[in-house]
Structure 1
C-alpha cells in the first residue's frame, strides 16, 4: 500500500514538473539579453543625432524590448546590402531598418511578420506633377531648341535675301524707303523684310517689279508664320503632356534616380526604365532639387516623409504606389529570436502601441 502511494506521488510530481516547463521556458526567453542590431540610416525609420537613435523602427524595437527584456547595441551597415551582410556573417543578431521582404531574401534569412505595409512610389519636381501650362523657362527651352533654331535661321534667310533684292532695285528711286548706300540701306531693307514676315511691312516699294515681289513674298510669309506657329504650339503641347509623371510607364526616357541594389532598382529594371543608381537616397534628393533628375523612385514611406519635410515645395508625390512590399525584421536562418520577436510584436499591436507609432511617424493615413 505504501509503495502504491509513493508511485502515485511520484507520477503527480512528474506531471506538475512537466506542466511548469512552458512557464520556465517563457521566463528564460524573457530574460534580459544584449543584442546587436545591424541597421542603416533611413528617415523616418532610423535617424541618428549624435549617439541617440530615433525613428519608427527604433521605437518599435524599444516597444518589443519591453516584452522581451532585450537591450540593443547598434551596428551601422551603411546600406541594405551591408545590413544583410552583417546578419549573414553573424556580426549582428538581427537587422532592422526598412528591409523589404522578398522571395530571394527569404531563402537566405528568416523574417519577422511584416511590420509595415509599403511599396514603391515616384516623386518628381513640383512642376512635373502639376497640370499647369508650361512656364517661361519651358517656353524659352522650346523656343531655342534645335527645331526652333532651324526655323529662326530660315526666317533670317527669308529676310536677308529679299532685303538685297529690294536694296539693289529700289536704291535708285529718290522716294524709296531705302538709302542708296549699302549701309544703312541694307538695314532698312532688312527691316522691311522682317516687317513683311510679321505681316506688318514698312513703306511699300516704289517700283512695280518689287511691288509684285512683295505680293508673292506676303503669301510666303503668311505660310511660314502659320507653319512656325503650329510647330511651336505643338511642341509646347507635347512638352506639357510629357512633363506629367504618374506611372512607371511615364519614366521611360526620363532621368530617373534610385538607390542601387535595392528592390526599387529591381522594380525599375522590370519595367525597362533606365536609371542612375546611387549609394544613398539623399543623393537622389540633391539631384532632384538641382534638376539633374526628373524623378526619384524608392520606398513609398521614405519618399512621403521627405516630401512632407525637407522636400516640401521641391518635390511632390507622382501617382500611387505601383509595387506593394512589406517590411520585416531580418534574422539568421533558424534564429530562436524571430519567434520571440513575433510574439512581442503581437502584444505591441494588441495594446495599441503599434498604431500610435504609425500615427507618430506617418500621420493618420499610415
Structure 2
C-alpha cells in the first residue's frame, strides 16, 4: 500500500513538473502571427527580418522555443488569428489601445511610436498646382490682414482730402455731400496707394497730404511685397499638408483596421483604407490620395529607402502610442515573454537590435 501511494505521489509530482515546463517553455513550436510592415517586419527572398522579427527571435531563444510564423495581410487578420487560436501570439507593428486591451493581453511595450504624415515629393520638389496656389493666396490670412490694413490706411487720407477739396472750386471732389464725395476721395487714395495719383489735389493742405500719402504708399507696398513673397516661398517649400490640422477634407490613406483610421475619421479627413502597406504607398505616388497617415517608423523607413526622392514625412509625430506583443486573454506565455523581454533590455541585446534598424540616438 505504501509503495503504491509513493508511486502515485511521484507520478503527481512528475505531472506537475511537466505542466510547469510546458507553461514556461514547452517543446512545440510557437505559432506567431505577423504582417509585413517595414522596418518592423520585412520579407526578402522568403525570409523574414526586421526589428520585430529579430526581437522575437531573441525572445524565442530565451524561451527555448522554435517559431512558426503566420503571415497575415493586415492588423485585423493578425488579431483574428490570435483571438481564434490559429496563432499563439502576434508581433509586428501592433499598437496598444484601450479597445484592444479589452479583447487581448499585451506584453510590455516593445517600441514607442505614433502617427505621422507622408506626402509626395521632397522639400525641394513639391508638385506645384498654380490654380490651387492662386486660390490659397486669395484667401490666405496674410492677404486678408494686409487688405484690412490698407483699407484702414485709405480711410485717413480719403477723409482729409474730402474735407479740404470739397469746397475748392477746381478740386478733385465734385460734390460737397459726404456720399458720394467720400467714395471719390477713397478711389483717389486707393489708386495712389496701388500705383500713383492720376490727379493732384488743388488745395495746398491737400497737396501736402497727397505727398505724405504717396510716400506712405511706397513704404506700404514694399512691406506688403516682402511679406507676400516670404509667405509664397514658405508655401512652396512646405506644401499644402504640413500638420494634422491640414488633413481636414483631404484625401488620406492608411491601412485597413489601423489606429490611424479612427483618428482620421475624427479629423474629418476623406479616409481611404488599403489592405497592404505597399498598396498604400503606390496610391500616394499615383496621386490617388493626397497624403498617408500611418505609423511613424514605417513612414520614416520608406521615405529613406524605397521612397527616397519620391515622398517625405512632414510635421511632428502625433497620437503617441506603443507597440506590443499581443496574446489571447489569459495566455500563460505573456509572463514568460515579458521576463525574456526584460532580460534582453538588461543585456543590451534590445538596444543593439534597435540601433540596427533605427540608428543610434
TM range (shorter): 0.5 to 0.7
- Kindly indicate whether residue 113 of structure 2 is the aligned counterpart of residue 122 of structure 1: no
Structure 2 Cα separation of the partners of residues 345 and 143 of structure 1: 55
Structure 2 Cα separation of the partners of residues 283 and 75 of structure 1: 21
Contact kept, 8 Å, 1:247 with 1:322, in 2: the verdict is no
> CA separation of 1:312/1:333 partners in 2, compared to 1, >3 Å: closer, same or farther?
same
Q: Which residue of structure 1 aligns with residue 326 of structure 2?
A: 330
User: Normalized against structure 1, the TM-score is what?
Assistant: 0.63
Q: Which residue of structure 1 aligns with residue 43 of structure 2?
A: 48
Contact kept, 8 Å, 2:251 with 2:269, in 1: the verdict is no
1:5-51 deviation per Cα after TM superposition (whole angstroms, max 9, x unaligned): xxxxxxxxxxxxx9xx99x9479724543111111111111122233
Structure 1 Cα separation of the partners of residues 133 and 266 of structure 2: 32
Secondary structure at 1:61 match in 2? helix
Structure 1 Cα separation of the partners of residues 64 and 341 of structure 2: 13
Secondary structure at 1:250 match in 2? helix
Secondary structure at 2:292 match in 1? strand
> CA separation of 1:32/1:248 partners in 2, compared to 1, >3 Å: closer, same or farther?
same
- The structure with the larger Rg is 1
> CA separation of 1:239/1:119 partners in 2, compared to 1, >3 Å: closer, same or farther?
closer
Structure 1 Cα separation of the partners of residues 262 and 102 of structure 2: 17
Q: Which residue of structure 2 aligns with residue 261 of structure 1?
A: 257
Structure 2 Cα separation of the partners of residues 344 and 94 of structure 1: 15
**Which residue of 337, 348, 355 maps to 1:341?**
337
Quote the offset at 1:259 in angstroms: 1.2
Aligned residues: 259
Contact kept, 8 Å, 2:27 with 2:65, in 1: the verdict is yes
What does 1:175-194 correspond to in 2, within 5 Å?
Answer: none
Structure 2 Cα separation of the partners of residues 348 and 276 of structure 1: 38
Q: Which residue of structure 2 aligns with residue 36 of structure 1?
A: 31
What does 1:55-66 correspond to in 2, within 5 Å?
Answer: 55-66=50-61
Contact kept, 8 Å, 1:118 with 1:325, in 2: the verdict is yes
Secondary structure at 2:317 match in 1? coil
Structure 1 Cα separation of the partners of residues 94 and 131 of structure 2: 44
> CA separation of 1:255/1:53 partners in 2, compared to 1, >3 Å: closer, same or farther?
same
Structure 2 Cα separation of the partners of residues 108 and 140 of structure 1: 49
User: Normalized against structure 2, the TM-score is what?
Assistant: 0.64
> CA separation of 1:271/1:143 partners in 2, compared to 1, >3 Å: closer, same or farther?
closer
What does 1:98-117 correspond to in 2, within 5 Å?
Answer: 98-117=93-112
Q: Which residue of structure 2 aligns with residue 191 of structure 1?
A: none
Quote the offset at 1:104 in angstroms: 0.6
**Which residue of 247, 251, 272 maps to 2:247?**
251
Q: Which residue of structure 2 aligns with residue 76 of structure 1?
A: 71
1:84-139 deviation per Cα after TM superposition (whole angstroms, max 9, x unaligned): 10111111111111111110111111101110000100111235x56x9x87x534
| Structure 2: gaps of 5 or more residues | 1-12, 139-224
Quote the offset at 1:239 in angstroms: 6.8
1:247-301 deviation per Cα after TM superposition (whole angstroms, max 9, x unaligned): 1111123221111221011111122222211111212211222233221100001
**Which residue of 249, 274, 284 maps to 1:288?**
284
| Structure 1: gaps of 5 or more residues | 1-17, 148-229
Secondary structure at 1:87 match in 2? helix
CA RMSD, aligned part only?
A: 3.3
Structure 1 Cα separation of the partners of residues 311 and 335 of structure 2: 40
Secondary structure at 2:262 match in 1? helix
Structure 1 Cα separation of the partners of residues 273 and 23 of structure 2: 46
What does 1:1-366 correspond to in 2, within 5 Å?
Answer: 25=20, 29-127=24-122, 137-139=128-130, 237=232, 240=236, 243-365=239-361
